[in-house]
Amino acid sequence: MSRAIGILGGMGPAATVDLMGRIIAATPAQGDAGHLHLLVDSNPAVPDRNRAIAGEGPSPGPALAAMARGLEAQGAEMLAIACNSAHAWAGEIRAAASVPLVSMIDATVEAIRRDHPGARTIGLLAADACLGAGLYQGPLAQAGFEVLLSEDQPGFMALVYGVKGGETGAAARAGMAAQAEALAARGAELIVAACTEVPLLLGPEESPVPLVDSTAALVAKLVHLAAD
């Protein structure tokens, strides 16, 4: 028997569908009954995380807490968020539900330490809210890594919001590849896709150095835990 996973999604919708699709692809199933039970609340009305961190908009905490309570009431036995930045409100989510929240941040840092032990300098592609909350900078620094951030954060954010609006064509992909190339040129030995929109534009084959994808890291951990 597998445990039901409750997904707090809609931030953005395409990233939520990507997470679901990857969970399905990563599950060793011979038919319908072999797949994991996914309970998904894809709520695009969650207040903007970037505006909230900047003090320019309402907190998404109450909406995220309500989603967590609803998913638990429907039978979720663990929770996951299809958004890195929303982890800034993980405390409110955990306070609202009695089932565990599987952290995308923790899963990604674990993957970096496990799979890239020789890397020391990391290029971090993350949204404003994720950076403002220090979700990755702190854990990575504690693990002994040097972290490089984009020197064109407005350009990066334009690409992220573009994905939310359906822009995933050649120009957008080239723009995200350029972000990765700029970090590699400054010495990044590893690129971390610390925003769930990034892998919708940038794959391992388009990254100039190894790419650690936060969505992939979360999927691996969820599939392992749900089948445990």
The C-alpha atoms of residue 60 and residue 178 are separated, in whole angstroms, by 31
Is the preceding peptide bond at 21 cis, omega within 30 degrees of 0? no
E strands present in the chain: 5-9, 38-42, 78-81, 121-125, 146-149, 190-193, 211-213
CA torsion sign for 219, 75, 164, 18 is: positive
User: Active-site residue among 11, 20, 68, 83?
Assistant: 83
Helices (H) and strands (E) in the chain, counts: 10, 7
Closest-CA residue to 222 (of 12, 23, 33): 23
| C-alpha dist (Å) from residue 75 to 3, 16, 86 | 9, 19, 22
The C-alpha atoms of residue 59 and residue 38 are separated, in whole angstroms, by 26
The answer to whether 196 and 15 are in contact (CB under 8 A) is: yes
User: Active-site residue among 67, 194, 195, 226?
Assistant: 195
The answer to whether 168 and 200 are in contact (CB under 8 A) is: yes
Q: 130 catalytic, yes or no?
A: no
Q: 83 catalytic, yes or no?
A: yes
The first and second tokens of residue 195, run together, are 């925003």
Annotated catalytic residues are: 83, 195
